[in-house]
Amino acid sequence: MIDTGNTAWILTSTALVLFMTLPGLALFYAGLVQSRNVLSVLMHCIAIACLVTVLWFVIGYSLAFADGSAVVGGLSDFLLLGIARGAVVEGAGIPATLFVMFQMTFAIITPALIVGAYVERIKFAAVLLFSGLWLLIVYAPVTHWVWGGGWLAEMGVLDFAGGIVVHVTAGVSALVIAWQLGPRRGFPHGLRPPHAPWMVMVGACMLWVGWFGFNAGSALSAGTDAAMAMLVTHLSAAVASLVWLVIEWLRFGKPSVVGLVTGTIAGLATITPASGYVGPAGGIVLGLAGGLLCYLFVDLIKHRFKVDDSLDVLAVHGIGGATGTLLAAFFASTALGGVGLAEGVTMGAQFWVQLVGVVVTALWAGLATYIIVKLTKAICGLRVSDEDMIEGLDFTAHGEQGYNP
């Protein structure tokens, strides 16, 4: 039987998660680049959304969720042929087609997150080829490991809404492609500040609102789990934002809009894997941890490791997602206000499972991304010329300009 309340909530959540990419992430990233590249970033986000939609329908969903091995799903849902119009998700009371669509929005935003690592210097053909291959080789198998009944699910890993599936995969892959692509001109000390901080703030606020669908929607029901997931998501975002604000204020004497909302995204990424398992105290602590650690890694990656992960995808999403995944082992405990661990499982044992999930996923994402980047470079090239970078990708790649001269 269809549960109309659950169905209405997941319909809403699906729209909210798509809203995170289009327009939330698109505007967030577009405001952070130079004015001559604003349209190229918007184009990357919407083109990836279209490409992933088709690939998810053809084979992506089947690889992620169809019955298969412990490593990857089978082909029974190729072209969604194995899903009847009236099929219902057992236990949730929502249409199976709605679950397909809900998960599609996750598949859309994950490769779109990686856009932040290569803005202002990559060929558009490379964006499409890399994103399509990455979805099928990295995202779909990891999704199967965690949510599709694969080997990590059998181990009992906790990842409510995508700390491993979304943020660790995107963060590590972002580092690899940024390293292979090389830095922007003038990196690290000659770069100009974001051209439109107001646009960054608007995009971040859209992400904040959309994230309620991302986390609370992952309950697949309109009940207490969704309500708590929404509460802790909001708490973590607020706390991490304040942490970032205070650090900048103390360090530079002036808190910035871009810094504040970067902290917001760090808090949202950190709470994501734990959102359905922890209580309010967990939301506060994970927001604090995410704000501190993500800020630290922004500096480390750019200035210590000298990798131009342009919009801090690894530092914010990868580190945040990994932190929340590991801390879920502790804050899911009923003693700390969580829902409780599986019977007979200690915090230490759960932490080990979480650590295995993070490390193996990071290794797979890194290795597979390295191979995909090499393949993409061989087929269509990767980096635009210096002349194109100077003129801007809006005009050289798309024949348009974001602003009238």
DSSP-assigned letters across all residues of 47-87: HHHHHHHHHIIIIIHHHHHSSB-SSSB-STTGGGTTS-TT-
373 residue type, one letter: V
The least confident of 47-51, 159-163, 185-189, 224-228 is 185-189
Q: Are residues 369 and 139 in contact, defined by beta-carbon separation less than 8 angstroms? A: no
Contacts of 184 (CB under 8 A, 6+ apart): 120, 121, 191, 308, 310, 389
Domain span including residue 103:
4-395
- How far from chain centre, in Å, is Cα 349? 27
pLDDT of residue 209: 98
pLDDT digits (tens, 9 = 90+) for 75-110: 999 999 999 999 999 999 999 999 999 999 999 999
Contacts of 35 (CB under 8 A, 6+ apart): 195, 196, 392, 402, 403
- Is pTM, for the whole model, over 0.95? yes
The answer to whether residue 403 sits within a structural domain is: no
Which residues are paired to 122 by β-bridges? 383
pLDDT digits (tens, 9 = 90+) for 45-55: 999 999 999 99
Q: Flag whether pLDDT at 191 surpasses 90.
A: no
Give the span between the Cα atoms of 151 and 319, in whole angstroms.
Answer: 23
The answer to whether residue 307 sits within a structural domain is: yes
Q: Flag whether pLDDT at 405 surpasses 80.
A: no
Split into its structural domains, the chain has a count of: 1
Q: What is the mean pLDDT of residues 13-34?
A: 98
Residue 79 belongs to domain with CATH number: 1.10.3430.10
> Could you say which DSSP state residue 339 is in?
-
Q: Flag whether pLDDT at 190 surpasses 90.
A: no
The answer to whether residue 400 sits within a structural domain is: no
pLDDT digits (tens, 9 = 90+) for 330-374: 999 999 999 999 999 999 999 999 999 999 999 999 999 999 999
The answer to whether residue 168 sits within a structural domain is: yes
Contacts of 398 (CB under 8 A, 6+ apart): 39, 40, 43, 124
The answer to whether residue 401 sits within a structural domain is: no
Contacts of 267 (CB under 8 A, 6+ apart): 236, 237, 238, 239, 240, 241, 286, 287, 290, 291, 320
The answer to whether residue 402 sits within a structural domain is: no
| Selected residue with higher pLDDT from 19 and 404 | 19
pLDDT of residue 114: 98
Which residue's entry shows tokens 């802790």?
A: 232
Structure tokens at 371: 């191979």
pLDDT of residue 188: 85
